[in-house]
Structure formats: C-alpha cells, structure tokens
Amino acid sequence: MSKTKIAIIGAGGLTGKELLGLLAHHKDFEVVHITSNQVHGKSLQEVFPGNPYLPQLNFVKHESEIPQGVTVVLATPNEASMEMAPQLLKKGHKVIDLSGSYRLHDKQKFEKAYKFPHAHFDQMQNVVFGIPELFREKLKNANFVSNPGCYATSGILPIAILGDLRSRIQGPVIIDSKSGVSGAGGRTEEITFAYTNVYENFRAYKVLSHQHEPEIEEYAFVGTQPSEIVFTPHLLPVYRGIISTTYIRFQEGVKEEHILEKLESKVKSEPFLRLYSSPEEIELRKVQGSNFLDMGFRMRGNTLVLVSALDNLVKGAAGQALQNLNLMHGYTETEGLLK
C-alpha cells in the first residue's frame, strides 16, 4: 500500500524537527515537501546533523508549489497559519495547524490573547481541536485540525477527564506550570534565553496573560459549566518538558476515591495517559521523548493537588500532531508513537 504524503511548512523549527524525527520511523507516512525561509536550499542532514534517521530531503521556500493531494502540516507562526490554512483547504488538502490561530471560538478572546485581528474566523466552524482523548471521533473525519498548545494540553487533560466531577468544583482552578526553554521559545536570539540568564535561574512569565489560558478555559470544561482558570507559566533551566501542578477545590463530599475512579477509568482506555500512585512519582525524566501525559495526585479535605507531566515537543506538539494525523487518515492511532 502506498504511503500518505506529507508536506511540512516551516519545518526548520523545533516542532518541525521533532515531527520529522517521529515520521522517520512511521510506516504509513512519507514526508515529501519541507519548507523554511531561513534554511531553504539546505538538506535535512545539514540542518539537523544530530538525527541520522531523517530522509534525504531539501528545504524549499514557503512559496514553492505544494504537491497536490498531500496532507499539510503548518508549523508556521500564527499569522502565517491564519492566512495559509483556508487556501490549502480550498485546494483540497487535509491540514493540521500547529499554531494558535484556530483554537479559540471566541473572537474577542482570540484577539486579546494573540494581539492581531483574525481575518478568517469563519473557518472556526470547520476546525476540530486536536486532543484525541476528547475529540477522537470528530478527528477521524476531520480535514482541518488545530493542534493544541503545549501548556494547554498539559492544563486541559487532567481537568477534562474528571468528567462530571467538574460540576462540583468551587472557585478558580489554579494551574502552576513549569516549562523547559524549548516550550518557551528558547531557540531565539533573545538575551532572555542566553545561557547566562537561564542556567541556575528560574522565573515566572506572562502571569495571568498567557495565550494558552483561554484555550484551557474553553476545552477543559467541555460539557459542563466552566470554572475560572488561573494559569502561571514558569521558565525551567531544562530543555524539554512541562510539569503542571493543578489545584482544585471541590464541594463537600468529593472524595479521593471519586477522583481515583474517574482517572483510572479514563486512563485504562487511553494509550498515552498514565496514572501513578503518587504525585511524587511524576517527573520530566519519565516523559521526555515520549507522547505520554503522566499524572499523580493527592487530596486533603476538598483540595486536590494533581501533578502532570508531558514533553512539550511531543504530546505538547509534534507527537500529538502525529496522533491526530493517524486518526485523520484512518491509521492506528499509536502508529509511530508506541511499540
């Protein structure tokens, strides 16, 4: 059977690199077209000399003609994705967008979070949000998928899988997240990401103003009334991985066993969710390089403390994208992500 052909627009970035690495071991997909405005003309081996499994392929410019019928991955900045997605869809390409441009259904919240006007907001009717644990069936028939943010995935899933217990939450849900530099833009020249400013250092950023906060608010409470999300991202002196410590206060009567039951039943049927017997067992080390989201929790009185971990470049970006691509094309969901 012939493989499904993939084009990656903006393949020279960290997510593009990660996705190329995953696809290199995938039996059903074949990358045929990669673009980059920085390194066009160069080969994958030149640009990513560390990964020997990458195919023999050269970067071309964004503008270059995209082969008909291929599935397109947009690993482009927000505004570029916003512009390209509709055109590609019109040409009949299946599209998965890794940017933030097609995640929020509230135009005001979008423009407040992303600070530019959305020129193609009508597309929000057609897009499917790419968290398989929540939208698996829709994803199987989707032509247009918006891949979630790394912090958003880390924040949404532990809440969403609490199911009807979410209706018994009191007050705001607090998500204290810590991310490695690859999730926070660490490839840039910014002095903020100079070794001297990251190593042996730690700090919060975009407190109460991160663009993933409204994304968590929209998708963590699907099917129930939303609680306020209080989200604080921090910058860790590590390269990859996000740990989120989530604090939820429940109404009287919600007990540890109810939480355990919900999480266990959900995790049982999910290939990439893992539940540990204590929050102390959760660490970046266990998820780096994998598509897993690990969780552990403890409860005291009505207060739940849940620690979750994922790799921002895999389950937080390229890995989840591949999970979605598998679903969109009718392949085994775990293909290329799990033995």
Catalytic residue ranges: 150
Dihedral sign, CA of 310, 314, 316, 319? negative
- Listed ranges 109-117, 140-148, 173-181, 251-259: which one lies at the site for a second copy (CB under 8 A): 173-181
Minimum distance, C-beta of residue 191 to a second copy, in the bound complex (Å): 5
Q: What does the alpha-carbon distance between residue 170 and residue 250 come to, in Å, rounded to a whole number?
A: 5
Count interface residues toward a second copy (CB under 8 A). 80
Q: What does the alpha-carbon distance between residue 148 and residue 283 come to, in Å, rounded to a whole number?
A: 22
| 140 near a second copy, judged by CB under 8 A | no
- Listed ranges 30-38, 121-129, 288-296, 324-332: which one lies at the site for a second copy (CB under 8 A): 288-296
Q: What does the alpha-carbon distance between residue 194 and residue 186 come to, in Å, rounded to a whole number?
A: 9
Strand 303-310 and strand 242-250: pairing?
antiparallel
Q: Scan residues 200-259 and list those touching a second copy (CB under 8 A).
A: 200-208, 228, 230, 232, 234, 236-241, 243, 245, 247, 249
Minimum distance, C-beta of residue 91 to a second copy, in the bound complex (Å): 30
Minimum distance, C-beta of residue 311 to a second copy, in the bound complex (Å): 9
Q: What does the alpha-carbon distance between residue 166 and residue 223 come to, in Å, rounded to a whole number?
A: 10
- Listed ranges 31-39, 77-85, 178-186, 259-267: which one lies at the site for a second copy (CB under 8 A): 178-186
Minimum distance, C-beta of residue 247 to a second copy, in the bound complex (Å): 5
Minimum distance, C-beta of residue 180 to a second copy, in the bound complex (Å): 8
- Long-range contacts of 181-186, Cβ-Cβ distance < 8 Å, separation of 24 or more: 181/235, 181/236, 181/237, 181/238, 181/239, 182/14, 182/239, 182/240, 182/312, 182/313, 183/150, 183/151, 183/240, 183/241, 183/242, 183/312, 183/313, 183/316, 184/233, 184/235, 186/239
Minimum distance, C-beta of residue 88 to a second copy, in the bound complex (Å): 27
Q: Is the CB of 82 or the CB of 173 nearer to a second copy?
A: 173
Find all residues with CB under 8 Å of 51, minimum gap 6, and list them: 17, 20, 21, 24
Q: Is the CB of 163 or the CB of 172 nearer to a second copy?
A: 172
Using CB under 8 A, pick the residue from 38, 141, 167, 303 that binds a second copy: 303
For residue 46 the two structure tokens come to 């030149």
Q: Is the CB of 119 or the CB of 207 nearer to a second copy?
A: 207
CA angle 143/318/193 to nearest 5° reads: 135
Q: Is the CB of 123 or the CB of 182 nearer to a second copy?
A: 182
Minimum distance, C-beta of residue 53 to a second copy, in the bound complex (Å): 5
User: 169 has which bridge partners?
Assistant: 250
Q: What does the alpha-carbon distance between residue 42 and residue 57 come to, in Å, rounded to a whole number?
A: 9
Q: Scan residues 73-132 and list those touching a second copy (CB under 8 A).
A: none
Q: What does the alpha-carbon distance between residue 317 and residue 213 come to, in Å, rounded to a whole number?
A: 17
Per-position x/- string for 41-70, each x denoting binding to a second copy as judged by CB under 8 A, each - no binding: --------xxxxxxxx--------------
Using CB under 8 A, pick the residue from 39, 42, 305, 331 that binds a second copy: 305
Using CB under 8 A, pick the residue from 37, 126, 143, 170 that binds a second copy: 170
Strand 229-235 and strand 169-179: pairing?
parallel
Using CB under 8 A, pick the residue from 41, 67, 171, 330 that binds a second copy: 171
From the list 306, 23, 319, the residue with the least C-alpha distance to 156 is 306
Using CB under 8 A, pick the residue from 189, 257, 268, 269 that binds a second copy: 189
| 182 near a second copy, judged by CB under 8 A | yes
| 197 near a second copy, judged by CB under 8 A | yes
Block residue for tokens 């005291």: 300
| 199 near a second copy, judged by CB under 8 A | yes
